[in-house]
Structure 1
């Protein structure tokens, strides 16, 4: 059997959706862990090495508290913990929902495909967020 004959063979729905369903299950497991084990207790998930070394908040500081608040559907608390983490969570959920039908059409479709420009833009936003949240002007971004 040649490679073209293997590639032309239709893929079952289960095989096409296996990876997205496993990713979704992993996300639900992480959300359940964050819901039942409160990150607001100091040290419950360890400490941020960046914050320990520099005394500054990194772009992820407050992200676990934001995710915990999202599991309680408390959007205001989540946004005040880390607005960037809330935006990332929303983007990931939307990407996952869009990924399901795309996988049915093309079993090799990826959840997220970033171009180098988008990757640089995301890193730029994270850097700007970090700088802003560690200044007096962006103190309300601090966790």
Structure 2
């Protein structure tokens, strides 16, 4: 017995729906925790910052998300500008994944471009260095 196309599509959408649910729960936790102050419950610290005192490429992302959830884009940029710039690429990838599951075939995104991993690694390395430089204007990137 074959599965009707409608049922197969709905089953294919279970994983994307689960990602939306997990993202919603994550957003609720970030909102409740308020990582920008001591008002909420504590979230675990960044292990890189805890061990080295340096900001890793992801430091400030939780506070960035909190700021975005409150509509404060400038503060979000302060917490992690590189992650903010990556959001459209993440949404593009997620949307293509959902569309591919809906259509039943893969949708090509920027991730399949030949140079994408190399450019990504170089940008992460540059961001890691400049956000830890101890002089103006780079010291403003330290969170």
Instruction: Call closer, same or farther: CA 1:111–1:34 in 2, change over 3 Å.
Output: farther
2:61–2:79 contact (8 Å) kept in structure 1:
yes
Query: Matched residue of 1:12: which SS?
Result: helix
Structure 1: 5+ residue stretches without partners: none
Worse overlay, 32-41 or 82-91: 82-91
2:33–2:43 contact (8 Å) kept in structure 1:
no
1:28 maps onto 2:15 in alignment: no
Structure 1 segment 39-118 matched on structure 2, within 5 A:
39-41=35-37, 44-106=42-104, 109=106, 114-115=111-112, 117-118=115-116
Q: Distance in 1 between matches of 2:98 and 2:48?
A: 36
Q: Distance in 2 between matches of 1:28 and 1:93?
A: 15
1:82–1:142 contact (8 Å) kept in structure 2:
no
Q: TM-score, normalised by structure 1?
A: 0.78
Q: TM-score, normalised by structure 2?
A: 0.78
Q: Distance in 2 between matches of 1:112 and 1:15?
A: 23
Runs of 4+ more than 6 Å apart: 110-113
- How far did 1:41 drift? 3.1
Query: Matched residue of 2:36: which SS?
Result: coil
1:24–1:96 contact (8 Å) kept in structure 2:
no
Partner of 1:134: 132
What is the count of residue pairs matched by the alignment? 137
Aligned-pair Cα RMSD in Å: 2.9
Query: Matched residue of 1:40: which SS?
Result: coil
Structure 2: 5+ residue stretches without partners: none
Q: Distance in 1 between matches of 2:97 and 2:14?
A: 12
Q: Distance in 2 between matches of 1:120 and 1:27?
A: 28
1:50–1:57 contact (8 Å) kept in structure 2:
yes
